[in-house]
A and B are shown apart, each in its own frame.
Chain A
Amino acid sequence: MRLLDLRNGVVAIIAAGLLVSGCGASGGTSAASPAEASVPPASAPTAATPEASAPEAVSADLTFQFWIGGDADKAAWETVTAVAMADHPGLKITVQGTPWPDYWSKIGNQLSNAGAPCIVGMQSLRLAAYADQLVPMDELMTKYGVNAADFDKSIFDSMKHDGKLVALPYDFGPLIVYYNRDAFKKASIAEPKPGWTLDDFTKAATKLTSGGKFGFTTASIDQEYLSWVLDLSGAEVLDAAGKLAVSSPAFVDGYKKYVDLMRSGIASPVTVAGYDGYVNMLGEWQSGTAAMYVDGPWMVISNRDAVKFDMGMAPMPAGAGGSKHYTAGSGFGISKQCPTPDAAFQAIVSMTGDKALTGLASVGRAYPARPADAEAWYGAAKIEGARETLDYATSHSVPWLTPPNWVQMADLFDRTGLQALTGELKPEEVLQTVQDQGGL
């Protein structure tokens, strides 16, 4: 029943979003993300209005392949394609998909099929492996007058491969801490706020750990350990020269600190690697078993709807070098097998346009990649301190860069990292293994 209601809600909110977007171009100025500060959004013509994006009538049957968890998820994405179909009556877009983990074990082979879907979901971290099969969009951007400056620069740039744009982003965001406000209140701990320190985090987590409950929960999945390594030592996966550097002293230092922190008793035990572990972690936080966890802003509204407590968001606690965050995001690419790339591009422009994004943002699927649409998102999220947290985190963030074989490397890192979190291997052994076996 709840799910049906949710679906109706999605439709209603999208309808509302369409109204909002009527004044989107001018109303967006109050959103203040750092990327936007350099590019005043009001000056940029919005490309998503039907008049601007439809120099000629297009007509095509397009398939849109995406990661889809269930019926409600699919319905949300169908409202996005509905916007494109409304903009271009000649387009017919079919949404299809598989759950997130399967998506990445399919999309590679799918893109090589003759009947490959025209529009495919792409995540910034994983895009490099598939970039060769995606249509470069730079010329299409010019042809249809789409302005790069409308998008957040960091996520727009991370949709590029070898300098060419291969996907248009729809969401992005820094990985931040989600917390259970009720639990904090009950334990009379001051709630985390921008500028809180690792010491604050540890104290709070220690206090919150009692009677079968934990202060924190983590998973052996890239977004978790990499976020903590960055925060604790500033180290990234790639060094300045773009080489894999997970066994560098700084990375080892950060990873050791992360493992020690997680093994100090404040975090629930990790039992399985990768996405399954992510799902466990999420479940523990949502059910109140653990009070804090790290995830991206794309989870805000589904989290808010899933939990029975009051939730809050905070930046990563400041380690020795201050609070640091990764930004990641997703977008839509066009497969090279697509017979009608122009039509697909126009559809994507609509799907990443104001109307679709405000709609999607307002059901909380995504923190919009167009800063101008952030307002609608905050309005819909209704989470106290969300704006403060995300602004702070975004201004203390770096783009998440990974090597082209990251899917394979992360798989190894996730599984081996589990052994560090369970104490079977020393953190440095894990990192050495990953560095050595990086490419089989």
Chain B
Amino acid sequence: MTEAVILARRPAAGRRRRAELRSIVSHLLLVAVALMFTAPLLYALGTSLKPVDEVFTRPPTLIGSELRFENYIEAFQFAPFGRYFFNSFLVAITGTAVVIAVSSLSAFAFARLRFPGSELLFVLFLGTLMVPQEVLIVPMYWLMQVLGWVDSYQALILPFAFTAFGTFLLRQFFLTVPAELVDSARVDGAGPFNIFFRILLPLSRPALAVLAMFTFIAYWGSFLWPLIVIDNISVKGTVPLGLTSFMSQQGTQWHLMMAAAVLAMVPSVLLVVLLQKNLVRGLLTTGFGGR
């Protein structure tokens, strides 16, 4: 009897031990892979703190002979990075606000209002998703010239703020809000505006978080369009444009460029860390990561 129990238990214990071992190895490997994927970032961080003449030392070092935090100050002195960050924040935040406002309104119409041709219109909306933004840069620039918007904030914000993507994403979410909730509000005499602002929006925080994050990141990193539409970089330039100014006739200031690049990553990283909880829920419920 006891022997049988032991016999039965042993392989189980072995299996468990093997599973544990495998889990440890898996964790270690994953850490190694994660390190590999973050190596470029660590390298950038290390370089951003090196003295200029140690940038190209061999063998490569992660950390120079001293940690020069002054590099970060010098980067701001080399180019008006304060201005670039202000512009980038202004554009990214305003742009995100416009996208959320416009898409949530139209998403509500598609999800909760009945009107003729709604399905056809929705398909048309989705169709515009297929138009790659880069195809539009030529006529869009021409439009900016006609409107007199070249080198302006509105040119940085508006042209790509009306994407059907947000509408689609939020509609998916609005549909998951129980109909009874909306109906009982209707019965209580709430108009669509009330329902939209009081019920749907507060419930949609996760979906809004997802949309906000994607939109913010897109605006924050946008490069081609600002490159084309901004003429006066020191006034209207955004961070990505500013980063290119380190390559100049004075030679490439690699250490300063890395310092600025590291700083440029901070806002989005913070955003994702802060929104993380909402994000995962939002991704689940918008069907973004849905099955």
Binding site for B on A (CB under 8 A): 1, 3-4, 65, 68-74, 96-100, 102, 105-106, 109-110, 112-115, 117, 275-276, 279-280, 282-283, 286-287, 299, 302, 306
Contacts and interface: CB of A to CB of B under 8 A. Distances in A.
Given A70-B78, A109-B150, A115-B150, 18 more contacts: A68-B233, A69-B248, A69-B249, A70-B245, A73-B248, A74-B234, A98-B232, A100-B249, A102-B233, A102-B244, A105-B227, A113-B145, A117-B231, A279-B249, A279-B252, A282-B251, A287-B53, A306-B251
Interface in B215-255: 227-228, 231-235, 244-245, 247-252
Contacts of B74: 1, 3
Given A3-B74, A70-B79, A109 B252 contact: no
A4 B77 contact: yes
Given A96-B234, A97-B233, A71 B251 contact: no
A74 B77 CA distance: 12
B247 A276 contact: yes
B214 interface: no
B141 interface: yes
Nearest to B77: A3
B137 to A, nearest CB: 11
Contacts of B235: 96
Contacts of A3: 74, 77-78
Given A70-B78, A106-B231, A113-B150, A99 B245 contact: yes
B231 A99 contact: no
Nearest to A2: B74
Interface residues of B, number: 27
A53 B228 CA distance: 37
Given A97-B233, A99-B244, A299 B80 contact: no
B135 to A, nearest CB: 18
30 contacts: A1-B77, A4-B77, A68-B233, A68-B234, A70-B78, A70-B79, A70-B245, A71-B80, A71-B234, A73-B248, A74-B234, A96-B231, A96-B234, A99-B247, A100-B248, A100-B249, A109-B141, A109-B150, A112-B145, A113-B145, A114-B148, A115-B150, A115-B151, A279-B247, A279-B248, A279-B251, A279-B252, A282-B249, A302-B250, A306-B250
Interface in B65-122: 74, 77-80
Contacts of B250: 69-70, 302, 306
Contacts, number: 84
A376 B228 CA distance: 39
Q: Which among A73, A74, A306 has the greatest number of chain B C-beta atoms within 10 A?
A: A73
Interface string B115-148: 0000000000000000000000000010001001
Nearest to B70: A1
A422 B145 CA distance: 42
Interface of B: 53, 56, 74, 77-80, 141, 145, 148, 150-151, 227-228, 231-235, 244-245, 247-252
Contacts of B252: 279-280, 283
Nearest to B253: A70
Contacts of B78: 3, 70-72
A315 B150 CA distance: 44
A286 B232 CA distance: 29
A433 to B, nearest CB: 27
Contacts of B151: 115
Contacts of A115: 148, 150-151
A198 B77 CA distance: 43
- Max chain B Cβ within 10 angstroms of own Cβ: one of A106, A114, A275, A302: A106
A112 B150 CA distance: 11
Nearest to A63: B232
A139 to B, nearest CB: 29
Contacts of B232: 96-98
Contacts of A99: 233, 244-245, 247-248
A272 to B, nearest CB: 11
Contacts of A287: 53, 56
Contacts of A112: 145
A87 to B, nearest CB: 24
A3 B150 CA distance: 31
Contacts of B53: 287
A106 B226 CA distance: 11
Contacts of A299: 249
Nearest to B248: A69
A100 B233 CA distance: 12
A413 B145 CA distance: 32
Contacts of A69: 245, 248-250
A155 B78 CA distance: 32
Contacts of B148: 114-115
A168 to B, nearest CB: 22
B12 to A, nearest CB: 59
A105 B227 CA distance: 9
B231 A98 contact: yes
A376 B182 CA distance: 80
Given A65-B231, A71-B80, A74-B234, A283 B251 contact: yes
Contacts of A306: 250-251
A100 B245 CA distance: 9
Given A71-B79, A71-B80, A97 B251 contact: no
A249 to B, nearest CB: 35
Nearest to A280: B252
B141 to A, nearest CB: 7
Contacts of A283: 251-252
